């Protein structure tokens, strides 16, 4: 556990210094190609056959990822300590991207600061969301960017860290495969409803703890002295279950309370309904909150690993 916490810190440093690999080299992009190939191979019309195909794709692809990650871990352990730790940190870094998430939301923020709403919509759709954004006004674009940042703080940062600390590289890479499969297949339409059912349900299960942990970290990093932290706790507890996803509502509602704004996706959910709509400054605050989550999460990981109150004392 101590080694993993050190590697996690190294991975954070590498993420900040190097950013993301080009897609043609990135492991998650390769996962996406495997999932897209599996989707193209599905020509079944019966719901049960689509479900079985999706489950086999999930099991086969996920199992392959675990085997590859185990092989990489064995290779890492054969290296001298420092090169081995640096290489493992580089491999772990491929499962998350703090810098990338900040850059994506930064593009939206800069476009809005120049009063270029079409460009802001473009960057929002390009980087952060899959839904239609052409009808969003400035406040709607800001809300969508904040919602995506909060959800990705859980799915794209805290969850890979959590599963790495639980089971090392194989768990972190397996989580990333499942999450990518859900992102590509987990839609409620005739083409994907049953094909993506297995990946969607497994992704829900794997994110149960990380989503709630992210919400707590958002609240802990709310330093305002005007009762904002208490409001964030209240709105999280009240609104977390108002989204269709059993997990996405947790970080999003906590972020709504922490910022003191209403986050709304038309015809789907409203979080913090009594609060005012977000302004551009709130997007900057949300990006700052992401940094706070990273710092607080790192500190808590270090404290738990260092003191390990659950460790039995030797007789």
pLDDT in tens, 80-134: 989 999 999 999 999 999 999 999 999 999 999 999 999 999 999 999 998 889 9
Q: What's the rounded Cα separation, in Å, for the pair 291 and 288?
A: 5
Of 6-15, 221-230, 276-285, minimum mean pLDDT range: 221-230
Contact criterion met (CB below 8 Å) for 125 and 262:
no
The string of DSSP codes covering 206-245 is HTHHHHHHHHHHHHHT---TTTHHHHHHHHHHHHTTSSSS
Find the mean pLDDT for residues 172-199.
Answer: 92
Q: Which helix (H) or strand (E) holds 270?
A: strand 269-271
Q: What's the rounded Cα separation, in Å, for the pair 244 and 117?
A: 28
Alpha carbon 307 to its chain centroid, in Å, reads: 28
């Amino acid at each position: 556990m101590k080694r993993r916490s050190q590697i996690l810190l190294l991975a954070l440093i590498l993420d900040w210094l190097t950013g993301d690999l080009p897609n043609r080299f990135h492991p998650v992009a390769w996962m996406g190609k495997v999932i897209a190939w599996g989707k193209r191979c599905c020509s079944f019309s019966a719901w049960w056959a689509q479900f079985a195909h999706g489950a086999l794709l999930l099991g086969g692809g996920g199992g392959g990822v675990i085997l590859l990650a185990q092989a990489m871990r064995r290779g890492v352990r054969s290296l001298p300590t420092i090169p081995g730790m640096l290489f493992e940190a580089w491999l772990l870094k491929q499962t998350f991207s703090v810098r990338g998430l900040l850059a994506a939301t930064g593009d939206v923020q800069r476009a809005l600061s120049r009063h270029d709403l079409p460009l802001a919509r473009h960057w929002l759709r390009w980087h952060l969301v899959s839904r239609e954004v052409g009808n969003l006004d400035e406040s709607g674009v800001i809300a969508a960017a904040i919602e995506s940042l909060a959800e990705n703080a859980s799915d794209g940062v805290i969850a890979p860290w959590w599963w790495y600390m639980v089971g090392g590289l194989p768990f972190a890479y397996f989580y990333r495969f499942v999450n990518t499969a859900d992102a590509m297949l987990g839609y409620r339409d005739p083409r994907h409803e049953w094909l993506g059912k297995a990946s969607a349900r497994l992704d829900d299960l794997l994110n149960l703890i990380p989503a709630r942990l992210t919400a707590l970290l958002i609240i802990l990093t709310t330093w305002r002295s005007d009762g904002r932290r208490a409001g964030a706790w209240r709105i999280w507890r009240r609104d977390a279950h108002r989204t269709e996803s059993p997990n996405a509502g947790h970080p999003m509602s906590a972020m709504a309370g922490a910022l003191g704004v209403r986050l709304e996706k038309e015809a789907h959910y409203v979080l913090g309904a009594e609060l005012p709509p977000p302004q551009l400054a709130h997007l900057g605050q949300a990006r700052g909150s992401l940094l706070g989550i990273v710092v607080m999460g790192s500190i808590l990981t270090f404290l738990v690993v260092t003191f390990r109150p659950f460790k039995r004392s030797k007789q």
